[in-house]
Amino acid sequence: MPIRQITVYGEPVLHQRAVEVTEFDDALRELVADMHVTMDEAHGVGLAAPQIGLGLRMFTYVFADQDDAPERGVVINPKLTLSKVSQAPAHPDDHSEGCLSVPGLNYPLQRADYAKVEGFDEFGKPISFEAHGWFARIMQHEYDHLDGLLYVDKLQPRWEKKWKKAKKALGWGVPGNTWLPGTDEDPFGH
Protein backbone atom coordinates (compact mmCIF):
# COMPACT_ATOMS: atom_id res chain seq x y z
CA MET A 1 0.00 0.00 0.00
CA PRO A 2 2.15 2.87 -1.24
CA ILE A 3 1.54 6.46 -0.26
CA ARG A 4 0.56 8.44 -3.35
CA GLN A 5 1.66 11.91 -4.46
CA ILE A 6 -1.05 14.52 -3.88
CA THR A 7 -1.69 16.88 -6.78
CA VAL A 8 -1.86 20.63 -6.15
CA TYR A 9 -4.27 23.20 -7.62
CA GLY A 10 -3.51 23.63 -11.31
CA GLU A 11 -3.05 19.96 -12.19
CA PRO A 12 -5.55 19.30 -15.04
CA VAL A 13 -7.10 16.19 -13.42
CA LEU A 14 -8.29 18.39 -10.55
CA HIS A 15 -10.25 20.63 -12.91
CA GLN A 16 -12.08 18.01 -14.99
CA ARG A 17 -15.13 15.88 -14.28
CA ALA A 18 -14.02 12.41 -13.19
CA VAL A 19 -15.40 9.30 -14.92
CA GLU A 20 -17.56 6.58 -13.38
CA VAL A 21 -15.86 3.53 -11.95
CA THR A 22 -16.96 0.44 -13.90
CA GLU A 23 -14.72 -2.35 -12.56
CA PHE A 24 -15.01 -3.43 -8.91
CA ASP A 25 -11.96 -5.67 -8.84
CA ASP A 26 -8.79 -6.31 -6.82
CA ALA A 27 -7.05 -3.36 -8.50
CA LEU A 28 -9.82 -1.05 -7.28
CA ARG A 29 -9.58 -2.43 -3.74
CA GLU A 30 -5.79 -1.89 -3.80
CA LEU A 31 -6.38 1.70 -4.93
CA VAL A 32 -8.84 2.23 -2.05
CA ALA A 33 -6.22 0.90 0.40
CA ASP A 34 -3.58 3.25 -1.08
CA MET A 35 -5.98 6.17 -0.78
CA HIS A 36 -6.67 5.41 2.89
CA VAL A 37 -2.94 5.17 3.66
CA THR A 38 -2.26 8.42 1.78
CA MET A 39 -5.16 10.22 3.49
CA ASP A 40 -3.98 9.03 6.91
CA GLU A 41 -0.36 10.02 6.30
CA ALA A 42 -1.53 13.47 5.15
CA HIS A 43 -3.75 13.80 8.26
CA GLY A 44 -6.75 14.34 6.00
CA VAL A 45 -10.41 13.57 6.61
CA GLY A 46 -11.11 12.86 2.95
CA LEU A 47 -9.26 12.16 -0.29
CA ALA A 48 -10.72 12.06 -3.79
CA ALA A 49 -9.12 10.05 -6.59
CA PRO A 50 -8.35 13.19 -8.68
CA GLN A 51 -6.17 14.38 -5.80
CA ILE A 52 -3.80 11.51 -6.50
CA GLY A 53 -3.94 12.06 -10.23
CA LEU A 54 -6.74 9.62 -11.14
CA GLY A 55 -9.91 10.93 -12.78
CA LEU A 56 -12.24 8.40 -11.13
CA ARG A 57 -15.49 9.16 -9.28
CA MET A 58 -14.50 7.94 -5.83
CA PHE A 59 -13.29 9.25 -2.50
CA THR A 60 -12.24 7.94 0.89
CA TYR A 61 -13.10 9.52 4.22
CA VAL A 62 -12.63 9.13 7.97
CA PHE A 63 -14.93 10.80 10.47
CA ALA A 64 -15.75 9.43 13.91
CA ASP A 65 -18.75 11.57 14.83
CA GLN A 66 -21.66 10.11 12.88
CA ASP A 67 -24.18 7.49 14.02
CA ASP A 68 -25.53 6.11 10.77
CA ALA A 69 -22.36 5.98 8.64
CA PRO A 70 -19.20 3.93 8.93
CA GLU A 71 -16.42 5.87 10.67
CA ARG A 72 -14.11 5.11 7.77
CA GLY A 73 -15.05 4.31 4.22
CA VAL A 74 -15.06 4.85 0.50
CA VAL A 75 -17.84 6.14 -1.70
CA ILE A 76 -17.66 5.16 -5.37
CA ASN A 77 -19.84 6.79 -8.04
CA PRO A 78 -21.53 8.93 -5.36
CA LYS A 79 -24.76 10.85 -5.56
CA LEU A 80 -25.49 13.58 -3.01
CA THR A 81 -28.83 15.11 -2.05
CA LEU A 82 -28.32 18.33 -0.08
CA SER A 83 -30.28 20.66 2.14
CA LYS A 84 -30.29 24.35 1.27
CA VAL A 85 -27.05 26.28 1.61
CA SER A 86 -27.26 29.40 3.76
CA GLN A 87 -26.78 32.64 1.87
CA ALA A 88 -25.20 34.30 4.92
CA PRO A 89 -21.53 35.24 4.62
CA ALA A 90 -19.19 32.40 5.54
CA HIS A 91 -17.58 32.96 8.94
CA PRO A 92 -13.83 32.23 9.27
CA ASP A 93 -14.23 30.55 12.66
CA ASP A 94 -17.22 28.37 11.80
CA HIS A 95 -16.93 27.61 8.08
CA SER A 96 -13.24 27.37 7.22
CA GLU A 97 -12.06 24.53 5.03
CA GLY A 98 -8.69 23.25 4.00
CA CYS A 99 -7.75 20.90 1.19
CA LEU A 100 -4.85 18.54 0.61
CA SER A 101 -4.65 19.94 -2.95
CA VAL A 102 -4.45 23.51 -1.61
CA PRO A 103 -1.89 22.62 1.05
CA GLY A 104 -1.45 24.83 4.07
CA LEU A 105 -4.26 27.28 3.27
CA ASN A 106 -7.84 27.52 4.47
CA TYR A 107 -10.74 29.81 3.70
CA PRO A 108 -14.39 29.99 4.82
CA LEU A 109 -17.13 28.58 2.61
CA GLN A 110 -20.82 28.01 3.28
CA ARG A 111 -22.00 24.43 2.80
CA ALA A 112 -25.27 22.59 3.30
CA ASP A 113 -25.71 21.20 6.83
CA TYR A 114 -27.16 17.93 5.50
CA ALA A 115 -26.26 15.48 2.76
CA LYS A 116 -27.77 12.14 1.84
CA VAL A 117 -24.96 10.09 0.35
CA GLU A 118 -25.53 7.17 -2.01
CA GLY A 119 -23.01 5.14 -3.97
CA PHE A 120 -21.05 1.92 -3.81
CA ASP A 121 -18.27 0.45 -1.68
CA GLU A 122 -15.11 -1.13 -3.11
CA PHE A 123 -16.95 -4.45 -3.64
CA GLY A 124 -19.74 -2.84 -5.69
CA LYS A 125 -22.24 -3.12 -2.82
CA PRO A 126 -24.71 -0.19 -2.67
CA ILE A 127 -24.30 2.13 0.32
CA SER A 128 -26.49 4.93 1.62
CA PHE A 129 -26.18 7.14 4.68
CA GLU A 130 -26.92 10.63 5.95
CA ALA A 131 -24.31 13.17 6.93
CA HIS A 132 -24.85 16.22 9.13
CA GLY A 133 -22.74 19.23 10.08
CA TRP A 134 -19.01 18.80 9.60
CA PHE A 135 -19.44 15.33 8.09
CA ALA A 136 -21.83 16.78 5.47
CA ARG A 137 -19.14 19.38 4.69
CA ILE A 138 -16.57 16.63 4.12
CA MET A 139 -18.91 14.77 1.78
CA GLN A 140 -19.62 17.91 -0.28
CA HIS A 141 -15.94 18.87 -0.40
CA GLU A 142 -14.88 15.46 -1.72
CA TYR A 143 -17.81 15.23 -4.12
CA ASP A 144 -16.87 18.60 -5.63
CA HIS A 145 -13.45 17.14 -6.51
CA LEU A 146 -15.21 14.59 -8.69
CA ASP A 147 -16.85 17.39 -10.68
CA GLY A 148 -13.55 19.22 -11.20
CA LEU A 149 -14.12 21.80 -8.48
CA LEU A 150 -12.04 22.70 -5.46
CA TYR A 151 -13.49 24.61 -2.55
CA VAL A 152 -11.40 27.67 -3.51
CA ASP A 153 -13.32 27.80 -6.82
CA LYS A 154 -16.49 28.58 -4.84
CA LEU A 155 -15.29 31.30 -2.44
CA GLN A 156 -17.14 34.54 -1.81
CA PRO A 157 -15.42 37.60 -3.39
CA ARG A 158 -13.66 38.71 -0.17
CA TRP A 159 -11.96 35.33 0.25
CA GLU A 160 -11.50 34.74 -3.48
CA LYS A 161 -9.27 37.82 -3.65
CA LYS A 162 -7.06 36.48 -0.82
CA TRP A 163 -6.93 33.06 -2.49
CA LYS A 164 -5.86 34.48 -5.86
CA LYS A 165 -3.08 36.46 -4.20
CA ALA A 166 -1.85 33.37 -2.32
CA LYS A 167 -2.08 31.19 -5.45
CA LYS A 168 0.06 33.64 -7.40
CA ALA A 169 2.65 33.91 -4.61
CA LEU A 170 2.90 30.11 -4.37
CA GLY A 171 3.18 29.60 -8.14
CA TRP A 172 0.10 27.37 -8.25
CA GLY A 173 -2.42 27.18 -11.07
CA VAL A 174 -0.05 25.30 -13.38
CA PRO A 175 0.54 21.55 -13.79
CA GLY A 176 3.34 19.70 -12.04
CA ASN A 177 2.98 20.67 -8.39
CA THR A 178 2.61 17.78 -5.94
CA TRP A 179 3.59 16.82 -2.42
CA LEU A 180 4.20 13.43 -0.82
CA PRO A 181 2.75 12.90 2.66
CA GLY A 182 5.25 11.45 5.11
CA THR A 183 8.21 12.60 3.01
CA ASP A 184 7.66 16.28 2.19
CA GLU A 185 7.20 18.80 4.98
CA ASP A 186 3.63 18.66 6.25
CA PRO A 187 1.99 21.84 4.89
CA PHE A 188 -0.60 21.75 7.67
CA GLY A 189 1.91 21.50 10.53
CA HIS A 190 0.72 18.16 11.98
The rounded distance, in Å, linking the Cα atoms of 40 and 44 is: 6
Active-site choice (11, 30, 142, 160): 142
Q: Minimal CA–CA distance to 101: which of 53, 156, 36?
A: 53
Q: Is 15 annotated as a binding residue?
A: no
Tell me if 36 is assigned to a ligand binding site: no
Rounded (10°) CA dihedral 35, 39, 154, 167: -110
142 is catalytic: yes
- Which residues, including other chains, have CB under 8 Å from residue 112's CB and lie 6 or more apart? 82, 83, 84, 85, 136, 140
Point out which residues pair with 62 in neighbouring strands: 72
99 in a known ligand binding site: yes
List, as residue ranges, the binding site for Fe cation. Answer: 99, 141, 145
Q: Which residues are catalytic?
A: 142
List, as residue ranges, the binding site. Answer: 99, 141, 145
